[in-house]
Amino acid sequence: MVFSQFVSSSLVLCFTCWNVSICANITTSVYMGKWYKYDVKSRKALILLMERSKKPTIVTAGKILDLSLETFTNILKRSYSLLAVLKTKKLII
């Protein structure tokens, strides 16, 4: 049961990191599109989208820790190490 919770949480966090990395290419994608063919209102909305996407999106864990790919992998490594230690001590059945 603990393992299934660990795996599902890991998958959710990986999906979130993947979405954040995709969002980094929004400015380039919008600019390379045919934005000049849109009406003025749509062009203004695209400019706002491009300007807002320049600021990086940072996922925080409890306003304590920035959850980057590096911190995520460190958490996974430490969790696995703890699980391995508990398993060798036969505390987990």
Q: Is the whole-model pTM more than 0.75?
A: no
Q: What's the pLDDT tens digit per position in 21-77? A: 666 577 777 777 888 888 899 889 888 888 887 777 677 777 777 777 787 788 888
* pLDDT (0 to 100) of residue 82: 84
Half-sphere CA count of 19, side-chain side, radius 13 A? 9
The residue whose two tokens read 């999106």 is 57
CA distance 33 to 17: 25
| H/E run at residue 75 | helix 69-88
* pLDDT (0 to 100) of residue 90: 65
**Do 50 and 31 meet the contact criterion of CB atoms below 8 Å apart?**
yes
**Do 46 and 35 meet the contact criterion of CB atoms below 8 Å apart?**
yes
Domain ranges for the chain: 2-88
Mean pLDDT, residues 68-92 taken together: 79
* pLDDT (0 to 100) of residue 38: 85
